[in-house]
Amino acid sequence: MFTTIQNNDPQMFDLLKAEEDRQRDGLTLIPSENHTSAAVLEALSSVLSDKYAEGYPGKRYYPGNEVADKVESLTRDRAKSLFGVPHANVQPYSGSPANLAIYSAICEPGETIMGLNLLDGGHLTHGWKFSMTSKFWKSIPYHMTADGIIDLDEVRRLAQENKPKVIVCGGTAIPRAIPFAEFAKIADEVGAYLMADISHIAGLIAGGQHESPVSHCHIVMTTTHKTLRGPRGAMIMVTQKGLDKDAELADKIDKAIIPGLQGGPHLNTIAGIGVALLEAAKPEFKDYAAKIVANAKTLAQELTTHGLKLVSGGTDNHLILMDLTTTGPGRGMFVDLALDRIGLCANRNTIPNDPSNAFYPSGLRLGSPAATTRGMGEAEMKMIAHWIAQVIEHTKDFQLPDNKEGRLATIKQFKESLKTDTWYGGLRAEIKELCNKFPVPGIS
């Protein structure tokens, strides 16, 4: 791999190799990350990257798009068939612009959107106060209960009081199944569009491990690079229910993408999405999705056995949200940095009713998709849980001070300890040894 870059640009070559080493010798436990197949990576590096194709198949602003039209149509058809929808737009550059495009297609500026609060597991683009989505539209966030379950009573109350134009269901740190039917009841009661952001769970839906939102929602958005295991990108799908509500909805979504928000689509990415969608339609992908969930459940069970606390007590999907407050508030950063030191990459995250704040959250978010892609199973999940428990125990004396000076000093001291404390070296070696038995698909 990379032989041309090696000759032309040794500096960049070294960095690409270093990232391959990092991915191969460590383990990705961030639930929004995955390893695409070598076939997807090939599509990404194809000459389609060089082509401009503003517009849609058959209606482009540039010549030379005969092949591009076929690539985009094929990918669109695969998306429609896999998820059972009448319309799919495969051009969004990523999930954030896709969500922006959806709101702009169906809401006038200043109208109301409702999504899960960022700190409770929603996404920035679901109306967080610093996101453009709350500057252009009025954002009414809903929350999780203290048990880590979406507070549907609050959703109904806020929807009835605020009459939103759209309700968004789905998020980034939700360990339990999304109750699409309950959301649909509420949205229908107030005449709102229901949009499912299935970015995290699209692969589980395609693999039959999570209920599909299609019969309940008007619009479905997904990123393509998480459990779906494609390249970084996104798709917006319009359901039959959506077309029944507004016959122009598909056209409005397409126009919101271009000319509304984007220019030329990234055709190499669209080809990569097409390759990933074909993979996701195969029977093996159903096994893969089932293993993702089984692995997450095993990991959750083992963490609990080690006395660790999980938001909502467990998981229904690929994601686990650990509540680290049993060892003190604001400890997510210490645990995430210490895990990274030994080659386990998971991320600090807020938990519902976090006693700390978004910069120093009290939770850790873990997921099984990438480990499952590498072929890991029950035995490996047990080892991972054991390592995580050891790290939490080993770092528990590092507590987050209330004041800024104290915090900076403690963090500095902690980072220093990651370099000097020889205890980490043994675990790092064990994890590297395990990881080298489970290859990453795109790394030869």
Q: Which residues are catalytic?
A: 52, 54, 197, 223, 226, 232
Q: Please identify which residue in the block is written with the tokens 């099984």.
A: 368
In terms of CB distance, is 258 or 427 closer to ligand PLP? 258
Phi–psi pair at 34, nearest 5 degrees: -160, 175
Q: Is 318 in the site for ligand PLP (CB under 6 A)?
A: no
| Residue number, 113 or 391, with CB nearest to ligand PLP | 113
Sole window of 196-204, 239-247, 306-314, 318-326 interacting with ligand PLP (rule: CB under 6 A): 196-204
Residue 94 makes contact with ligand PLP by CB under 6 A = yes
Alpha helices, H only, 26-167: 38-44, 66-83, 95-106, 132-136, 152-162
Would you call 234 helix, strand, or coil by DSSP?
strand
At 344 the three-state DSSP class reads strand
Q: Toward ligand PLP, which CB reaches closer, 170 or 361?
A: 170
Shortest distance (Å) from residue 173 CB to ligand PLP: 9
C-alpha–C-alpha distance, residues 187 and 5, integer Å = 52
- In angstroms and rounded to an integer, the radius of gyration of the C-alpha atoms of the chain is 22
Does 223 help bind ligand PLP (rule: CB under 6 A)? yes
| Residue 112 sits in the site that holds ligand PLP (CB under 6 A) | no
Position of minimal CB gap to ligand PLP: 95
Verify binding: residue 229, ligand PLP, rule CB under 6 A. no
- Does position 199 interact with ligand PLP (CB under 6 A)? The reply is yes
Report the residue from 78, 80, 176, 200 that binds ligand PLP according to the rule CB under 6 A.
200
Q: Does 209 bind ligand PLP (CB under 6 A)?
A: no
Longest dimension (CA), the chain: 64
The first and second tokens of residue 239, run together, are 């359901």
Contacts of 5 (CB under 8 A, 6+ apart): 12, 13, 16
Decide: is 212 part of the binding site for ligand PLP (CB under 6 A): no
Tokens of 190: 């107030």
- Among residue numbers 133 through 192, which ones bind ligand PLP (CB under 6 A)? 170-172
Alpha-carbon torsion angle 205, 211, 214, 217, nearest 10: -120
Is the dihedral angle over the CA atoms 56, 276, 292, 374 positive or is it negative?
Answer: negative
37: contact with ligand PLP by CB under 6 A: no
Which of 24, 36, 85, 95 lies at the binding interface for ligand PLP (CB under 6 A)?
Answer: 95
Which stretches of 121-231 are assigned E, i.e. beta strand?
138-142, 166-169, 193-197, 219-223
Q: Residue 197 interacts with ligand PLP (CB under 6 A)?
A: yes
Among 132-140, 194-202, 267-275, 280-288, which window interacts with ligand PLP (CB under 6 A)? 194-202
The site for ligand PLP, by CB under 6 A, has a size of 13
- State which of residues 46, 96, 162, 240 lies at the interface with ligand PLP (CB under 6 A): 96
Helix (H, G, I), strand (E, B) or coil at 223: strand
Q: What residues line the site for ligand PLP (CB under 6 A)?
A: 32, 94-96, 123, 125, 170-172, 197, 199-200, 223
